[in-house]
Amino acid sequence: MEGVMVSVATGVMNSLLDKLSALLGKEFKLHSRVKHDIAFLKDELSCMNALLEKLGNMEVLDLQVKEWRKQVREMAYDIEDCIDNYMHQPYQQRSSGIIGFFHVYVQRVKELVGHHGVAQQINELKDRVVEAKHRRKRYKVANEVDPGTNNVLSIDPRLSALYVESSDLVGIDIPRDHLINMLDDGEQSLKAISIVGLGGSGKTTLANEAYKRISWQFDCKAFVSVSQKPDVKKILGVLLSQVKNQDCATTEIGDDNQLINALRSFLKNKRYFIVIDDIWNTQVWNAIKCALLENSCGSRILVTTRIATIAKSCCSPHNGTVYELRPLSEADSMSLFYKRIFGSEDLCPINLKDVAADIIKRCGGLPLAIITMASLMITKSDGREEWGPWFCDIALNSWYSPPHALRELYTPGCCFQRIPEWITSMVNLYRLCIRVKQVTQEVLDILGGLPSLLDLELRSEAVDEPMEMLSLRNTKFRCLKIFRLYGPIMGLMFEPGAVPQLEALSIEISTCQAQSTFADHLDLGIHHLALLRDLNVWINCGGAKVEEVEALVAAITHATNLLPNHPTPRFYRDNEEGMVKDDAHVEQDIKQQLGVIEMK
């Protein structure tokens, strides 16, 4: 969760740094002192942003560091507002002649005043940045990311694949036997094979199965995991320890060169089988391969990686082959899923099969995804009504590494009990369509923090009457242009300065809820939406009087008339048959009915 919150701060900061760079360009003519201050802001904020990105890898943060991060985020918003106000000042078209001369004179006076105001604001913001810098030193924020003191949880995700029982595997037989045939082909020259596939596709499991089956045929063997941040000296030390089948302290052997020489000397006349699991870059492989002496003893090297170019690089010098591991078939995916939950497919309740099929389809044939979802589902009951919505919630909340570059997200088939925790890390998301059990103030505040969000459709599926008055705060939804809010809400208020870029709004309003919330003075704050051009209002008339509905329409129309663009609201009335009629309307209805009878 800490990484998610830091991602929000870095998203805001990245946007601000881009604008500061633009402001330093030739398009904007600034006084030299102002330009110098902006360059100072850019340099200092770049350093803070780098530190924020490092904090994103931390699992636990000190309370003072959290407070510093919060203050930096708020400061970035304030600086961005100042920059936006300056960058979007309207350019005055100049006239010719005497009138043009006076216009130029007046415009220059305005520019001087404007530059003075900007300079003063920039100077104040500069003071805040300097204070944040000093505060960072006082809080010792940099110490939080020291390699010796950080709290990152370093757990190898491949551990479970190394110790899984062969009887629990599904769809492994054919690829395992094919891989073994490639390794055990009788050739005496050194041969390298690379397994390439998606993360979670079972590369480590497949390599481990082949290793367990044929490693006994070799004079020495080793199975070493590399990962994204490898320690080459440690890897070489583990290799030496395993091939010699004894503990070797790397500190006693020396540096990388000494380890490589020791390995080459030991492997010189031996038939060895080495598995190098999860290689991420060629530099690491180039260091490791120096230790793997080429001989004519029938030695074999097996490499796993997610990256096709690295797979080719690892096997090309050694008469090698790239083995592409495919996702599980639909049948194998179903077998693995049902086996994990029910023991076999035959024991799956009929009412859960279609939901299970949807879950399996979304896992894309990746064994790790299927096993993870199955393990989570085991804790749930056998009721379809619980599996369906719960799967939507878990599927996205357990998406521990969402693509930060994602720009659009639609979840039409899911209704979330709560907003997924990771959604705040999606700093590039500009369009979102999402349904939640109930729209609360917390939901609005979380979504309002997405720095790039331009288009939001938010639906509430609440059945009970909402008990919370909602407010769109002036610090949220800074870029939002289109907002559609559907479903029962108690009331919605737009604070002054809220949603400053909003151009199109669609909302549902209950007349009864509005009357109970605002009494005789209905004010949603719509008149604060200065850029609003399009407004659609669905009015729930149930339980309300005719004059109350008309009063609501009149109040909203009056608010839009105060806006610069004078948008004409479109009203859609629902549940009119449920309106409460007073005596006058009842009498009028009776007369109309009698008139119809008399005409007949």
Chain centroid to Cα 451, Å, comes to 12
Residues 311/304, Cβ–Cβ less than 8 Å: no
For residue 503, give its domain range. 404-600
Name 483's bridge partners.
456, 505
Is residue 309 located within the same domain as residue 427? no
The residue type found at 447 is L
Match 């907002």 to its residue by tokens. 483
Helix (H) or strand (E) holding 47: helix 32-55
SS3 content of the chain, % helix, strand, coil (to 5): 50, 15, 35
Determine if residue 273 is left, alpha or beta; phi over 0 gives left, psi from -120 to 50 gives alpha, anything else beta.
Answer: beta
Q: How far apart are CA 402 and CA 423, in angstroms?
A: 8
Among 95, 111, 145, give the residue marking a domain's end: 145
**What is the secondary structure of 231-276 as a DSSP string?**
-HHHHHHHHHHHHHTS---HHHH-SHHHHHHHHHHHHTT--EEEEE
Is residue 435 located within the same domain as residue 548? yes
Task: Report the pLDDT value the prediction gives residue 345, as an integer from 0 to 100.
Answer: 66
Residue 460's SS3 state is strand
Residue 302's SS3 state is strand
Is residue 290 located within the same domain as residue 349? no
Question: Would you give the DSSP letter of residue 14?
Answer: H
Give the total number of structural domains in the chain. 4
Residues 16/457, Cβ–Cβ less than 8 Å: no
155 falls within a domain = no
What is the model's pTM? 0.43
153 falls within a domain = no
Q: Which residues of the chain have pLDDT under 50?
A: 1-9, 57, 59, 90-116, 144-155, 161-163, 250-251, 381, 383-385, 390, 398-401, 586, 590, 596-600
Task: Report the pLDDT value the prediction gives residue 535, as an integer from 0 to 100.
Answer: 92
Q: How far apart are CA 311 and CA 320, in angstroms?
A: 10
Q: How far apart are CA 530 and CA 274, in angstroms?
A: 67
Q: How far apart are CA 556 and CA 522, in angstroms?
A: 8
535 falls within a domain = yes
Residue 106's SS3 state is helix
586 falls within a domain = yes
Longest dimension (CA), the chain: 115
pLDDT digits (tens, 9 = 90+) for 509-549: 887 777 766 656 677 888 889 999 999 988 888 787 888 88
Task: Report the pLDDT value the prediction gives residue 164, as an integer from 0 to 100.
Answer: 52
Q: How far apart are CA 354 and CA 361, in angstroms?
A: 11
Rg of the chain over CA atoms, in angstroms? 33
- The Cβ of residue 534 has, within 10 Å, a number of other Cβ atoms equal to 15
154 falls within a domain = no
Is residue 180 located within the same domain as residue 217? yes
Residues 437/464, Cβ–Cβ less than 8 Å: no
Task: Report the pLDDT value the prediction gives residue 217, as an integer from 0 to 100.
Answer: 87
Q: How far apart are CA 418 and CA 24, in angstroms?
A: 42
Dihedral (CA of 460, 462, 465, 467) sign: negative
Task: Report the pLDDT value the prediction gives residue 383, as an integer from 0 to 100.
Answer: 46
Is residue 571 located within the same domain as residue 433? yes
Is residue 563 located within the same domain as residue 582? yes
Residues 208/315, Cβ–Cβ less than 8 Å: no
Backbone angles phi, psi at 244, to 5 degrees: -85, -10
Is residue 422 located within the same domain as residue 388? no
Q: How far apart are CA 81 and CA 75, in angstroms?
A: 10
Residues 195/303, Cβ–Cβ less than 8 Å: yes
Q: How far apart are CA 393 and CA 397, in angstroms?
A: 6
User: Taking CA 551 as the corner, what is the angle to CA 550 and CA 554, rounded to the nearest 5 degrees?
Assistant: 85
Residues 203/325, Cβ–Cβ less than 8 Å: yes
Q: How far apart are CA 594 and CA 588, in angstroms?
A: 10
Is residue 294 located within the same domain as residue 184? yes
CATH code for the domain in which residue 228 is found: 3.40.50.300
Is residue 518 located within the same domain as residue 582? yes
CATH code for the domain in which residue 429 is found: 3.80.10
Q: Where are the alpha helices (DSSP H) in 269-329?
A: 282-289, 308-315
Is residue 459 located within the same domain as residue 568? yes
Residue 457's SS3 state is strand
Dihedral (CA of 294, 301, 195, 226) sign: negative
Residue 565's SS3 state is coil
Among 145, 173, 195, give the residue marking a domain's end: 145
Helix (H) or strand (E) holding 399: none
Residue 206's SS3 state is helix
29 falls within a domain = yes
Is residue 343 located within the same domain as residue 437? no
Copy the structure tokens of residue 414.
Answer: 């899911």
Residue 318 CB partners (closer than 8 Å, separation 6+): 189, 190, 191, 192, 294, 301
Residues 387/355, Cβ–Cβ less than 8 Å: yes
152 falls within a domain = no
Q: Are strands 492-494 and 534-540 parallel, antiparallel or unpaired?
A: unpaired
Distances 437 to 321, 450, 465, 469 between C-alpha atoms, Å: 52, 20, 12, 16
368 falls within a domain = yes
Q: What length is written for the chain?
A: 600
User: Taking CA 261 as the corner, what is the angle to CA 258 and CA 264, rounded to the nearest 5 degrees?
Assistant: 150
Is residue 383 located within the same domain as residue 510? no
Q: How far apart are CA 421 and CA 5, in angstroms?
A: 10
Q: How far apart are CA 211 and CA 203, in angstroms?
A: 12
Task: Report the pLDDT value the prediction gives residue 367, as an integer from 0 to 100.
Answer: 78
